[in-house]
Amino acid sequence: MKPKNRSTNCEGIVMPTKGTAEHPETPDRPSNGAAFLPMSAYFGINTFNDQVMREKLPKDVYIKLRDIIRKGAKLDPTISNTVAHALKEWATGRGVTHFSHWFQPQTGSTAEKHDAFLELDEEGNVIERFRGEQLVQGEPDASSFPSGGMRSTFEARGYTMWDPSSPAFIMEGPKGGILCIPSLFISYTGEALDNKTPLLRSMAAVSKSALKVLRLFGNDKACRVMTTIGTEQEYFLIDKDFFLQRPDLQITGRTLVGALPPKGQQLEDHYFGSIKERVLSFMQDAEHELYKLGVPAKTRHNEVAPHQFEIAPIYAEANVGADRNHLIMEILKKVANRHGLALLLHEKPFAGINGSGKHNNWSMADSEGNNLLEPGKTPEQNLQFLVFLVATIKAVHDYGDLLRASIASASNDHRLGANEAPPAIMSIFLGEQLTHILEAIRDGKMAKATAKSIIDLGIHNVPAILRDATDRNRTSPFAFTGNKFEFRAIGSSASVSYSNTVLSAAVADSIDILVADIEAEISKKGRELNVAVMETLRKHIKASEAILFNGNNYSREWETEAARRGLPNVKNTPYALDALIAEKNVSLFLRQNVASKVEIDSRFHTKLEQYIKNVEIETDTLLNMVDTLIIPAAVTYQNKLIQAVKGLKDLETLLPGVPAGSQVGRLKALTGLIESVEKASRNLAEAAAKAEAVEDLSGRAKFVVDKVVPLMDELRKPVDQLEVLVEDALWPLPKYSKMLFIM
Ligand code: ADP
Ligand code: MG
């Protein structure tokens, strides 16, 4: 993905002319004020990409490895020693001393364990070595990673396995880099313990199913279908000093208390506003790091909320795209820290202010690079496009509950359905043109469809019209945006791997069903391909159209309408997760070879455990803040007021007529609030203790969401009222008005 025009592409990059602590000097940043390097000169220098492989590997090994990467061929173990050696040579030449398998346990983030290339020979001399088996397989002590009870600690060993389809990269460190090898994480009995393995399986499922459609339409060239994703990552930035003064932000990622400032986002003056210099400097540094890692960060802008921003890369194949999203999150955090900023990836760091999501743009492409969700130029291409489109609609219709479960987390609960960003109801936005076309097909206006009648309906115009007519429905959780779907309900802090696994598995399955129907129409009823396709589309549009909704997803009317249509509206994680083990969903995973029963159960348990633990941590943090920060501050102020009232009383005898009234009123209000806080805090502690006693995990999670979470909100109310009453200098936490309006 080299920029075509170097001069325009490097214009945007401003590099400091001198290395400073904040902007360390690196080989590609000239400190002598000499020429700026074009982006293409350093893009991907920290990845073992195709170019490096071609240079460093013997030709036969290079070709084998390339086939594994591009065509999904099986790993040939005989090449691993050669590849490992080349990797080591390349990495040590760039100052690297250690390597690590880099994997995605079910914690949602990535994990690494560094080993030096160091070995001792027979004489005890140090040599640098990296053997093939070390590249292919690693053995982290896996006992501390979530496994949902799949392994008890005494059989805790799991292993990591090289995933050659995602390029190895060097993560720069303060004193030398680490060679990171993207890997799978598997138990000794062969079950997936990570988020990546199921994702790869779901991509294989899509490929297998989608190829059948291509073959139906006479495409014999494509050998594989890829799932593609482009993730738009939202985040907040605040000054690190404020962050360090807020235990809630540090421990839970969000503010557990905090009153809304007089100016929030009402003026909507932040969205796409000019980027302030301090932020821009951070963004440019982060992008620079990402470019070196081969992550094609393309777009940056201010988001709706104050101090909220977005970064989006150019899309890639799903597993690479998912890896890159992890790298983006990691690099943003690291670089923010360097700039004296704290990066908040939480879905709802500030109550009452828009939350953050991760728009997951999703499509499929054949091995020739054709986007399968691109409306075609000919009627035949359009028919094929419609098959993929309707299959996706059917998938979201049939497995909306599972998609909902795939985005469920304690933190995303604060965002979904909270009158901004997608509601918890799954639905699809298609736009008017496409809706009109599907309705025509459904109503049989094209029952005897021939190439001609498709043209007559204007489908041949679809590409042109769609491109500019997809009015942006920002409220839809799942929107068609011209040549891809945008799944918008994923949380900003989540790994995108699992949601894409579910989506791809469901789409693969729907494609299989459509293909079987089309083939039956042809073989049993002797129909022509076009007619068979139209009949099949008609049937499935009818069966799935409840999921289509072009209106405002934030409105009350939609909730009512969705209920009438029978669409699930599950507002929180513990209930949403039930879908993970629902029979139809388990069958889907098994049928598409995406997860085994053991893996499904394990994920269900892991997700429940994570939910419970997250709320527990929040509850403990909140109670602790109330005890050690809020109440003491309020009591200090209370004492000041008591002194003031006493003083005024004393004055009364000297200066009759001086009123102590207003201070008394203030004192009363304050004392009342302190009491409310004490009471709400006791209630919360009691409920939290009760939750611990519920044995069944799902039952406990449900108890937590029904009985504990509302009490956190109850406690927050009087605390936030205190915040606007207590003297500013005494308030122990930085306020929203400070944290969110300084940059
Ligand atoms: P928007 O108007 O929604 O910002 P963009 O064209 O900027 O649309 O795309 C947003 C994201 O979608 C980017 O990451 C982009 O690379 C990605 N994207 C574009 N085409 C595809 C595709 N075919 N498959 C997956 N992602 C895609
Ligand atoms: Mg977009």
Identity of residue 236: F
* Mean pLDDT, residues 123-147: 83
Confidence of residue 653 (pLDDT cuts 50, 70, 90): confident
> Is the predicted pLDDT of residue 120 greater than 90, yes or no?
yes
Q: What is the pLDDT of residue 33?
A: 55
How far is Cα 69 from Cα 230, in angstroms, rounded to an integer?
Answer: 19
Confidence of residue 240 (pLDDT cuts 50, 70, 90): very high
* Cβ of 361 below 6 Å from ligand 1: yes
Confidence of residue 659 (pLDDT cuts 50, 70, 90): low
Return the half-sphere exposure (C-beta side, CA atoms, 13 A cut-off) of residue 732.
Answer: 18
Q: What is the pLDDT of residue 16?
A: 32
Each residue's pLDDT tens digit, 70-79: 877 777 888 9
3-state secondary structure of 541: helix
Same-fold call for 46-193 versus 204-595: no
* Mean pLDDT, residues 736-741: 90
* Mean pLDDT, residues 531-557: 93
Confidence of residue 420 (pLDDT cuts 50, 70, 90): low
Name the least confident of 138-142, 254-258, 434-438, 731-735.
138-142
Q: What is the pLDDT of residue 530?
A: 87
> Is the predicted pLDDT of residue 631 greater than 70, yes or no?
yes
Nearest CA to ligand 1 atom 1: 481
* Mean pLDDT, residues 363-380: 87
Q: Tell me which of 228, 360, 361 to substitute to probe ligand 1's pocket, judged by most ligand atoms within 8 Å of the beta carbon.
A: 361
Confidence of residue 488 (pLDDT cuts 50, 70, 90): very high
Q: What is the dihedral of CA 15, 16, 17, 19, to 10 degrees?
A: -120
* Mean pLDDT, residues 290-313: 95
Distance from Cα 165 to the centre of ligand 2, integer Å: 26
How far is Cα 648 from Cα 100, in angstroms, rounded to an integer?
Answer: 70
Cβ distance 323 to 182 under 8 Å?
A: yes
> Is the predicted pLDDT of residue 699 greater than 60, yes or no?
yes
Q: What is the pLDDT of residue 224?
A: 93
Q: What is the pLDDT of residue 619?
A: 98
* Cβ of 148 below 6 Å from ligand 1: no
Confidence of residue 656 (pLDDT cuts 50, 70, 90): confident
Atom of ligand 1 nearest to the CA of 363: 24
CA 118 from chain center: how many Å? Answer: 36
Identity of residue 656: P
Distance from Cα 231 to the centre of ligand 2, integer Å: 9
Angle at 163 between CA 161 and CA 168, to 5 degrees: 110
Distance from Cα 486 to the centre of ligand 2, integer Å: 7
Q: What is the pLDDT of residue 7?
A: 28
Cβ distance 379 to 454 under 8 Å?
A: yes
**Whose atoms come closest to the Cα of 357: which ligand?**
2
Residues 6+ apart with CB under 8 A from 644: 663
> Is the predicted pLDDT of residue 26 greater than 60, yes or no?
no
* Cβ of 314 below 6 Å from ligand 1: yes
* Cβ of 363 below 6 Å from ligand 1: yes
Between 1.10.10.60, 1.20.120.1560, 3.20.20.220, 3.40.50.1000, what CATH number should domain 611-739 receive?
1.20.120.1560
Q: What is the pLDDT of residue 74?
A: 77
Query: Regarding predicted confidence, which is higher, 178 or 742?
Result: 178
Token readout for 541 is 């549009």
> Is the predicted pLDDT of residue 651 greater than 90, yes or no?
no
* Mean pLDDT, residues 292-308: 93
Distance from Cα 487 to the centre of ligand 2, integer Å: 9
Distance from Cα 310 to the centre of ligand 1, integer Å: 13
Distance from Cα 210 to the centre of ligand 2, integer Å: 25
Confidence of residue 4 (pLDDT cuts 50, 70, 90): very low
Q: What is the pLDDT of residue 112?
A: 87
Distance from Cα 234 to the centre of ligand 1, integer Å: 15
Return the half-sphere exposure (C-beta side, CA atoms, 13 A cut-off) of residue 580.
Answer: 27
Q: What is the pLDDT of residue 34?
A: 57
> Is the predicted pLDDT of residue 593 greater than 90, yes or no?
yes
> Is the predicted pLDDT of residue 327 greater than 60, yes or no?
yes
Distance from Cα 484 to the centre of ligand 2, integer Å: 10
Between 3.20.20.370, 3.40.50.720, 1.10.600.10, 3.30.590.10, what CATH number should domain 204-595 receive?
3.30.590.10
* Cβ of 381 below 6 Å from ligand 1: no
What length is written for the chain?
743
* Mean pLDDT, residues 214-242: 96
* Mean pLDDT, residues 340-363: 95
Each residue's pLDDT tens digit, 376-405: 776 667 889 999 999 999 999 999 999 999
The closest alpha carbon to 311, from 284, 350, 340, 348, belongs to 284
The closest alpha carbon to 211, from 201, 198, 226, belongs to 226
Confidence of residue 23 (pLDDT cuts 50, 70, 90): very low
> Is the predicted pLDDT of residue 657 greater than 50, yes or no?
yes
**With b meaning 16 or more CB within 10 Å and e meaning fewer, what string describes 566-600?**
ebeebebbbbbbebbbeeebbebbeebebbbebbb
Atom of ligand 1 nearest to the CA of 365: 23
Locate the domains of the chain by residue range. Answer: 46-193, 204-595, 611-739
Nearest CA to ligand 1 atom 11: 230
> Is the predicted pLDDT of residue 625 greater than 70, yes or no?
yes
The closest alpha carbon to 338, from 298, 288, 292, belongs to 288
How far is the CA of 577 from the CAs of 204, 601, 604, 642, in angstroms? 25, 11, 7, 52
Q: Report the percent of the chain where pLDDT is more than 70.
A: 87
Q: What is the pLDDT of residue 154?
A: 46
Q: What is the pLDDT of residue 342?
A: 97
Q: What is the pLDDT of residue 18?
A: 37
> Is the predicted pLDDT of residue 274 greater than 90, yes or no?
no
Each residue's pLDDT tens digit, 203-220: 999 999 999 999 999 999
Cβ distance 290 to 327 under 8 Å?
A: yes
Q: What is the pLDDT of residue 204?
A: 95
Atom of ligand 1 nearest to the CA of 374: 23
Name the least confident of 32-46, 51-65, 580-594.
32-46
* Cβ of 230 below 6 Å from ligand 1: yes
Confidence of residue 743 (pLDDT cuts 50, 70, 90): confident
**DSSP bridge partners of 47:** 169
* Cβ of 481 below 6 Å from ligand 1: yes
Q: DSSP string covering 576-609, please?
A: HGGGGG-HHHHHHHHHTTS--HHHHHHHHHHHHH
Label the pairing between strands 98-103 and 111-116.
Answer: antiparallel
Distance from Cα 374 to the centre of ligand 1, integer Å: 12
Is the CATH number 1.10.800.10 carried by domain 46-193?
no
* Cβ of 371 below 6 Å from ligand 1: yes
Distance from Cα 315 to the centre of ligand 1, integer Å: 6
Compute the 3-state secondary structure of the chain and give helix, strand, coil in percent, each to the nearest 5: 50, 15, 35
**DSSP bridge partners of 724:** none
> Is the predicted pLDDT of residue 465 greater than 70, yes or no?
no
* Mean pLDDT, residues 310-339: 97
Q: What is the pLDDT of residue 406?
A: 97
